[in-house]
Structure 1
Amino acid sequence: MTLQPARARQLYNRDAILSASPVRLLTMIYDRLMLDLHRAEKAQEAADWQAASDSLLHAQDIIAELSATLKSGIWDGAESLRSLYDYVRRALVNANINRNPSLTREAIALVEPLRQSWHQAAASLPAERPEATAALGGYVG
């Protein structure tokens, strides 16, 4: 029995997520967040409001999960990052409600440096070490 390409890709992606270290999972989540934001921006520019809404809602879900997993007792920067996540989430809600691509672009401008920083931090830490998770803000998948 041969898998269809879409099903094979789906299984590969699922396995990649399930086998990812916490550090790698965090970078994958940020990558997906940026993908959603760029898709939303493109859809807003094309006045494809349903596609924009779908991407913005998924991005909001990711932001909520990132915020919920921050551990203030492990990292003293957690509350500041949580405040930034809250700001971005509100911007995305308003971008969706008001169909405002400039708010989506603002979110992209705020999230992209974070994504790059987490990728740099992840690259500098051995993924198999448990303390690597704590060093990345306490995110524990």
Structure 2
Amino acid sequence: MIQPAANSYKQNQVDTSSPEELTLMLYGGAITFLKKSKQAISDKNMNKAHQFITRVQDIIDELIITLDRKYPIAAQLLALYEYLKRRLIEANISKDVAILDEVEGFLMEFRDTWKQAITLARSQRG
């Protein structure tokens, strides 16, 4: 009963969010799955760790797809996203938490910077 309500809330949140907010949600989701993958490795549950790392890879793919290539920074972000994907593959093969920590650090920086950009853009509009 609670799960369908939570899923409905999440879907509504996605449906009513701006593209900028959706990107922020992607970063947040990736960070959440990285934390879960590290916990799964700690718990010696390698199948779960694999599933969570794969979810992060899927999110990185979505970030790549949604890059607006008309801006010069997109090429730099693309290179960074591709680097993170390679690191996630390495982490998934070796179940190396240090690599996951590295990827998490990048994603936290991206999230925090994106959050600041949204705030700045809103303050300039309003």
Instruction: Specify if TM > 0.5.
Output: yes
Match of 2:18 among 15, 18, 21: 21
Match of 1:82 among 74, 78, 100: 78
1:35 equivalent to 2:32? Answer: yes
Distance in structure 2 (CA, Å) of the matches to 1:69 and 1:21: 13
Q: Which amino acid aligns with 1:79?
A: A
Aligned residues: 124
Q: Hey, what does 1:134 align to over in structure 2? A: none
RMSD: 1.5
Per the normalisation by structure 1, the TM-score is 0.82
Runs of 4+ in 1 over 3 A off after TM superposition: none
In the TM superposition, residue 71 of structure 1 has moved relative to its aligned partner by 2.2
Q: Hey, what does 1:95 align to over in structure 2? A: 91
In the TM superposition, residue 68 of structure 1 has moved relative to its aligned partner by 1.9
Structure with higher RCO (Cα < 8 A, 6+ apart) = 1
Q: Hey, what does 2:8 align to over in structure 1? A: 11
Q: Hey, what does 2:118 align to over in structure 1? A: 122
- Structure 1 runs not aligned, ≥5 long: 130-141
Question: Which has the larger share of helix?
Answer: 2
Q: Hey, what does 2:64 align to over in structure 1? A: 67
- Structure 2 runs not aligned, ≥5 long: none
Same amino acid, percent of matched pairs: 28
Match of 1:48 among 45, 49, 68: 45
Structure 1, residues 71-113: CA drift from partner, whole Å, max 9, x if none?
A: 222x111111111100101111111111111111111111111
Distance in structure 1 (CA, Å) of the matches to 2:96 and 2:41: 7
1:112 equivalent to 2:108? Answer: yes
